[in-house]
A and B are shown apart, each in its own frame.
Chain A
């Protein structure tokens, strides 16, 4: 089945530093990937849609200059949290659709990255 990986799984950084999170589709090519943010005991909030070879589409209220997204290949999207602050601490999860799969709307989620900003 479709597998999505994320790296790192956990990161702790100092306030003001930047953190890059990678999302990879391992056994399929994904023209579209999605980045979500999840606070403890809350639902998933879509941050942006990452499109291979073009600019990401950000949801209302998400700062594109703070959350930089790059989708340089069909199997890799990266999210960079720039100048991280404690309020950016959260669980970041990516997902991808398999355009050649049986259900093209199904999103396959990565294992998530838990970011803690001190």
Chain B
């Protein structure tokens, strides 16, 4: 079945530094979505990428969808303590299908 993998599993970042988390699918995706889950909270939708090679920005967050639509990345610049949480990517093989979640990248920020 479809598998979605994320690396790294854990990311310790010094406040102010940049980091990137990567998402890889075993199959070509129709679209990929990113969610953020704060400790004790529930996943909150961040963004959806649909087109091959698509790049979207949300303030300090840059999301990219690979040309082959099998991988994606999330890059955060100038990390802040508010960025703490687990970032999940989730992909769907076809529009309207169920989402398959990656294992998540747990981000800890050192002040």
Measured CA separation A34–B48 after assembly (Å) = 18
User: How large, as a class, is the contact surface on chain B?
Assistant: 20 to 34
CB <8 Å contact, B98 and A109: no
Interface of chain A residues 73 through 108 with chain B (CB within 8 A): 93, 95, 103-108
CB <8 Å contact, B96 and A109: no
Instruction: Map CB proximity to B onto A104-116 as digits: 1 under 8 Å, 0 otherwise.
Output: 1111111110000
CB <8 Å contact, A104 and B45: no
Contacts of B44 in A (CB 8 A): 109
> When A44-B43, A93-B43, A110-B42 are in contact, do A105 and B33 touch as well, CB less than 8 Å?
yes
Contacts of B106 in A (CB 8 A): 41
Chain B min CB distance to A34 (Å) = 7
A25 at interface by CB-CB < 8 Å: no
Chain B min CB distance to A97 (Å) = 8
Chain A min CB distance to B111 (Å) = 22
B85 at interface by CB-CB < 8 Å: no
Instruction: Map CB proximity to B onto A43-56 as digits: 1 under 8 Å, 0 otherwise.
Output: 11110010000000
| Interface residues, chain B, with chain A CB atoms under 8 Å away | 30-31, 33, 35, 41-45, 48, 88, 90, 92, 95-96, 98-104, 106
Q: Which 5 A-B pairs have the closest CB atoms?
A: A112-B42, A44-B101, A43-B103, A109-B42, A109-B43
| Interface residues, chain A, with chain B CB atoms under 8 Å away | 34, 41-46, 49, 93, 95, 103-112
